[in-house]
Amino acid sequence: MRLECAGMLTALLMTAAVPASADEAKPWRHGIIKAKSDAGIFLMITKGFAQKQGVKLEISEFGNDVIEIQAILSGSLDSYDGSPGAAIAAAARGADIKVLGCEWPGVPYVIYVRPEIKTVQDLKGKTMAISAPGASPDVVAHAVLAKYGIPDDAVHFANLGADLDRFKAVVAKVADATVVSNEYAPIAEQQGLKALLRASDVVPDYMRVCIFSTGKVLAARGAEAAHFLAAEMQALHYALGHRAEVIALTHATIHDKPDDPRPGFIFDDAVRTHAIDPDMAIPLAKLKWMEETLVKRGSLKQPYDVSQMVDAGPRTEALKLAGK
């Protein structure tokens, strides 16, 4: 099953049949970034875990975090998985965005480059493929450059879509470098690219994915939010112990070749590096680092107290519901 993001929102019912008592329940509408080689991890919740928590789950895919924020603020979503960077930028400008927990705080991004680029300094004057301003690849790219003292105007940035589109752009020499998931490690060399650096080695405080909602949704549906988070926790704990099932779900979702090495690679890397937190803690210090990074690069005009966007209540209840 594969779904392209068209316009603001394309909805897809992902759960199996819910119990009869929940047939008339209002759906919990959740957004994720376009499914790729880690789909089995993010979508394990659809394999009965939402149903057991009484959640009638609908999942929609989006091209980037910015579109997700537009969707949730328009009332089209109840929650979404996305980068804290875009969410912080929106909340600092007054948007009603709340962070509920962070399930993938690890940094899986890698900067892949054409072989003639030997060092980070060689990126000066080159074209780097990123996604929408404020989305994860954009924030990671600028944070890495800042770490090496390279000004933004020394590199040409091009918004070239999702991970696969950006990777292909570098292969085709449309761009010289890009920030994409490390899932491309098994195939990068044969495509003529090389990994310049892992973002985790340079910006370890960057977080990949948290779950966000709005104060309006939580005021009206706080109990449902807790059950949704509990289902996520149970699904993630299960996924981390069932590699074959995760990979099978990924293949079934994105319709890649059965021998594609990427789903297995990204699962093993996430487990090895402890990149996933199934209990979805809210690392306030890392959120603060991301806020400071946005201020330094000028994405935020003034500091913002990230604790204002934290709502730990649903997670606290979810831990009880999940039996933690």
pTM of the model: 0.83
Rounded CA separation 125/111 (Å): 16
Q: Does 168 lie in the same domain as 38?
A: no
**How many CB atoms sit inside 10 A of residue 149's CB?**
9
Is 278 among the domain residues? yes
Q: What is the mean pLDDT of residues 45-56?
A: 97
Take residue 177 and report the two structure tokens written for it.
Answer: 């470098």
Beta strands 109-113 and 194-198, pairing class: antiparallel
Q: Does 32 lie in the same domain as 87?
A: yes
Per the CB < 8 A criterion, the answer to whether 100 and 79 are in contact is yes
- Count: domains in the chain: 2
Residue 60: beta bridge partners? 11, 31
Provide the residue type at 143 as one letter: A
Whether the predicted pLDDT of 228 surpasses 60: yes
Q: Does 79 lie in the same domain as 114?
A: no
Q: What is residue 113's three-state secondary structure?
A: strand
What is the model's pLDDT at position 23?
52
Q: Does 303 lie in the same domain as 213?
A: yes
Range of the domain at 174: 109-202
Rounded CA separation 136/4 (Å): 19
Is 170 among the domain residues? yes
Q: Which of 202, 227, 256 is the last residue of a domain?
A: 202
Cβ burial, residue 205 (10 Å; 0-12/13-18/19+)? middle
Q: Does 313 lie in the same domain as 237?
A: yes
Rounded CA separation 170/127 (Å): 9
Per the CB < 8 A criterion, the answer to whether 237 and 278 are in contact is yes
Q: Does 313 lie in the same domain as 214?
A: yes
Is 123 among the domain residues? yes
Per the CB < 8 A criterion, the answer to whether 61 and 33 are in contact is yes
Q: What is residue 260's three-state secondary structure?
A: coil
Is 154 among the domain residues? yes
Per the CB < 8 A criterion, the answer to whether 185 and 265 are in contact is yes
293: CATH: 3.40.190.10
- Percent of the chain's residues with pLDDT above 70: 93
Per the CB < 8 A criterion, the answer to whether 229 and 81 are in contact is no
**Using the 8-state DSSP alphabet, how is residue 206 labeled?**
-
| Chain segment 258-299, per-residue pLDDT in tens | 889 999 999 999 999 999 999 999 999 999 999 998 898 888
Is 2 among the domain residues? no
Residue 255 sits at φ, ψ, to 5 deg, of 55, 40
Q: Does 228 lie in the same domain as 197?
A: no
- Largest Cα separation within the chain, whole Å, is 61
What is the model's pLDDT at position 28?
98
| Chain segment 190-209, per-residue pLDDT in tens | 999 999 999 888 888 989 99
Is 5 among the domain residues? no
| Chain segment 52-108, per-residue pLDDT in tens | 999 999 999 998 888 999 999 999 999 999 989 999 999 999 999 999 999 999 888
Is 3 among the domain residues? no
Per the CB < 8 A criterion, the answer to whether 82 and 189 are in contact is no
Q: Which of 166, 186, 202 is the last residue of a domain?
A: 202
Q: Does 47 lie in the same domain as 82?
A: yes
What is the model's pLDDT at position 9?
32
